[in-house]
Amino acid sequence: MPQSSYVHEVMQALKRDGLDEAIKLYHLSIRRRQPSNITEVARELIEQHIDVRIGKLQNRINEIEAQLAARKTLRARLQCGWRRITSFFIRGKPFPETDDENELQAELAEHKAMIEGLWRIKARLRAAEAGRAGVS
Amino acid sequence: MKKRVAKTAAAGGLGFLAGLLLERGLESLTGMDFVDGVFAVGGAVLASLQVNRDMVEVASKNIRDMFGKDPLEISEEEWNLYKEKYPKSAVYLEKALGV
């Protein structure tokens, strides 16, 4: 297939929000043919897509961190303690505050890992193109 | 090869017509006088480069996701930021749109 066909498929995948597919096709395109100006633009467009995802994940991380930080204030701790006591005496079971906090911590760790993964993918995209260009 | 050239010329012609219609339509709707042929030429350029149109579409979607506004609405500062971060795509977009 000519390189423009690969690039066309990469663009179609990006339009569908199929980042994995776009990356796979991009790697295939530079493995089969020498990188050109058009593949460099395609790589940058994939990188933009990755950066948008990183931005969204970072926003969520900031939100979670703000929520967790708000729970660490003295007033929030007192309120939480009071809720636990009242719910234990009224409903007979403790207030599930810690479960919620654990969930947030897990989500935070997951998002951070995803960001690291996306950075690695970006680095690999650049390295693949540089390596292929170096071969020629 | 001949088939491809004919296809590209046909697509370019159609793009030109579409651009011309858009320009005339906008002029009659808004009463504004657009710079002669900008849309028509832009349409022809985009239509004659079929792969490139996909790229322009993806790039404009990315710009919308990044800055939260339409590519036509971004400021010069934002465009320079984009250009600094993604030089190849910026140059490509400028060429494709004849800026």
Question: Which candidate from A7, A12, A44 shows the least CB-CB separation from B89?
Answer: A44
Q: Is A1 on the interface with B (CB under 8 A)?
A: no
**Total beta-carbon pairs less than 8 A apart between chain A and chain B:** 49
B60, B71: one domain: yes
Cβ atoms of B50 and B11 within 8 Å: the answer is yes
Domain count, chain B: 2
B82, B98: one domain: yes
Cβ atoms of A45 and B62 within 8 Å: the answer is yes
Tokens of B55: 């790229």
B19, B41: one domain: yes
How far apart CA B68 and CA B66 sit, in angstroms, is: 6
Size of chain A, expressed as the number of residues it contains: 136
Mutation choice for B interface testing from A44, A47, A52, A125 by most B CBs within 10 A: A44
**Model-level ipTM above the cut of 0.90:** no
What is residue A18's predicted lDDT score, i.e. its pLDDT? 93
Q: What is each CA distance from B83 to A17, B56, B59, in whole angstroms?
A: 23, 14, 12
Range of the domain at B32: 1-48
Q: Is A47 on the interface with B (CB under 8 A)?
A: yes
Digit-coded pLDDT (tens) for B23-42: 665 566 555 554 555 555 55
- Give A62 to chain B, closest Cα distance, Å: 17
Burial of A120 (0-12, 13-18, 19+ CB in 10 A): exposed
What is residue A93's predicted lDDT score, i.e. its pLDDT? 64
Digit-coded pLDDT (tens) for A30-62: 888 888 888 999 999 999 999 999 999 999 999
